[in-house]
Chain A
Amino acid sequence: MNYETLLKIEDLYVNFRTDEGIAKVIDGISLSIRYGEVLALMGETGCGKSTVAKSILRLLPKNAEVRGKILFKGTNLLDLPESELRKIRGKEIGMIFQEPLTALNPVFTIGNQMSEVFKIHKLRVKRTIQDEVIELLKNVRIPDPRRRYYSYPFELSGGMRQRVMIAMMLAGRPSLLIADEPTSALDVTIQAQILKLLMDLRNEYNMSILLITHDPGVVAEMADRVAIMYAGQIAEVGPVKDIFLNPQHPYTRGLLRALPLGHKDERELENIPGRVPNLINPPPGCRFHPRCPYAMEKCRKVKPKPVMVSNEHLVFCHLFGG
């Protein structure tokens, strides 16, 4: 693994203008992903992890206000004009989504939708675009790819559709693949297959993966490092083994306590009393403080800074001097 940084998110703030006020969904997040590494972004539903993912490629809706920097190979994606950004989307950076049924256009064939990527980015092909597409479908282990080229999305199962999505986004040989809950909508058995496929492809294409998920089992199986998110803030980040065996942040500990790895039931989160905060009027300082058994005066006022607990393991908590 190359230790150079591929993607660096610096002080990202994202607000959404809504009818009820401004929702401060992302509150100053910084993250980095290295070449070839798999970074997982884990948290409960609604913590903003999907928003982070979408802000990289600027896929947020019109009512979103974004501040900060997202540096990809040194270039700030947030500053790029739309025409330049389009060259990166689907080519340098790929993104797959949670619900493969709705993520593919129902009225066009698989072949049609996948060929678009080749045409738009003018990718080099050995013989014809159709051959390349079929080659890609083979690569993601779709049976009978020649016939599937002419199929419509609804003719495929959920797992196969997700494979198609992956294939489509790999056409440009991206350095970074953003996977937004890629297996949450799939059957448990299919999940394992897709995860294995992603790992194999990571090795084959030598790419980094930003994996968005709420499932610690998925994190344990795939990720090198993991960042724990809560209500738009990062709680803790570090190598997966360190975080899972030695969680420091009170939230992480509540999240992982008594949770056998591989279990994806979210009911465990009720062990932490209280509810996810309203993002229009979020708690000041550390947003976890209303639910934290160790909350101090400082937690209510000041946002914690990162503290290095061990090699590469950072915690954002005043308990550690943050």
Chain B
Amino acid sequence: MRKYIIRKIFSFIICILAVTLFSFSLLHLIPGDPVRYILGEFATEEQYQKLKHQLGLDKPIHVQFINWLTNIILRGDFGKSLVKNVPVSQLIGERIVYTLQLTGTAWLIAFALGIPLGIAAALYKQTAVDYTVMGLAAFLMSMPYFWLGLVLMLIFGVTLKILPISGIGDWRNLILPSLTLGLPQVAVIARLMRANMLDVLDKDYIMTAKAKGLPNSLVVFKHALRNALIPIVTYMFLQIPWLFGGAVVTETIFAWPGMGRLLVISILQRDYPTVQALVFLIGTLTVIANFAADLVYALIDPRVRVMGEGA
């Protein structure tokens, strides 16, 4: 177990470093002159020098990197937005709550619906229940996020007119966006759950459990489920970065004022400090989520806890 954790911590550190390097280099990898790219052709020499200094590009690159990193770690300072002229951290801070609301709700929907549906599909394998659930899942997984959002908007917002389709407001505004973000994940989890359950139900220890005279409920919900859920629990954490990815598009469709929408706007406006900050944050979140997944896996699978390796 200890070796396992040490290995994972090592991985963690390397990955964080990689994310940091990558986010930092976004500005510097631009082919040609980044300052020229941002300002366009008609900039004056004065504007050019001013921006160059503001971005710190007049210093040697390793100094830039160290400055950038220390600012983030010590002061949470990502620099100033080129467009709005306020600290980037302020911009992000205003929006992060909304993104968390959205992704959090979608995450809950994904599990609350996905797990029971997957179990049902497995237990009623090859019956109407199974085909319906799996059919819907295939359908949902083939739809691009943004189209699902548009369709939901059309049905509930335009035709039935019962739900709002843009902006924030009360809880009703949260419904369509979180469904858009969450339903495709319901599909993924239902499929995964079904596959795991079927796999586990085939195992010898399930036959032993039946041979002991255990009632079906115990066989399925204690013996089978406890094993089948293990990969699902790790997926819960691995899913989080993906939800942020989907949030980018969802927030754009529904005019939801979150971080995702900020990222798109910043890229369009060439506001690099903001882009770097957002990529850094999401990258770090991804690494943390993966690390958490590994930790949790170690906790719930006794094989790893005791022996240091999974099944």
Contacts and interface: CB of A to CB of B under 8 A. Distances in A.
Q: Do chains A and B touch in the complex (CB under 8 A)?
A: yes
Interface of A: 54, 57, 59, 82, 86-91, 94-95, 97, 99, 102-108, 116-117, 120-121, 152, 154-155, 165, 168-169, 172
B205 A105 contact: yes
A124 to B, nearest CB: 16
Contacts of A90: 211-214
Contacts of A152: 302-303, 306
A231 B303 CA distance: 40
Nearest first, the 3 A-B pairs at minimum CB distance are A90-B213, A89-B213, A90-B212
Main secondary structure of the interface of B (DSSP, over half): helix
B203 A102 contact: yes
B220 to A, nearest CB: 13
B215 A154 contact: no
Interface in B203-262: 203-205, 207-216, 218, 223, 226-227, 230
B77 interface: no
A97 B208 contact: yes
A165 B62 CA distance: 64
B311 interface: yes
A95 B211 contact: yes
Contacts of A103: 204-205, 207-208
Contacts of A54: 207
B227 A117 contact: no
Given A59-B207, A99-B204, A104-B208, A91 B302 contact: no
Contact of B212 (A102, A107, A155, A168): A168
Contact of A102 (B204, B223, B302): B204
A321 to B, nearest CB: 40
B1 interface: no
A105 B306 contact: no
Contacts of B216: 82
A104 B211 contact: no
A165 B212 CA distance: 10
Q: Which of A59, A82, A88, A106 has the most CB of B within 10 A?
A: A106
A84 to B, nearest CB: 11
Interface of B: 203-205, 207-216, 218, 223, 226-227, 230, 301-303, 306-307, 311
A45 B156 CA distance: 61
A107 B211 contact: no
A90 to B, nearest CB: 4
B212 A117 contact: yes
A106 B206 CA distance: 11
Given A57-B210, A97-B204, A102-B205, 5 more contacts: A59-B207, A97-B208, A105-B205, A117-B213, A165-B208
Given A105-B227, A108-B226, A152-B303, A91 B211 contact: no
Nearest to B210: A59
A57 B302 CA distance: 31
Given A102-B205, A106-B205, A154-B307, A94 B226 contact: no
Contacts of B213: 86-91, 117, 120-121, 172
21 contacts: A57-B210, A57-B211, A59-B207, A82-B216, A86-B214, A88-B213, A89-B210, A91-B213, A97-B208, A103-B205, A103-B208, A104-B208, A106-B303, A107-B227, A107-B301, A107-B303, A152-B306, A154-B307, A155-B306, A168-B212, A169-B212
Contacts of A82: 216
Contact of A94 (B211, B223, B227, B303): B211
B226 A107 contact: yes
A86 B212 CA distance: 8
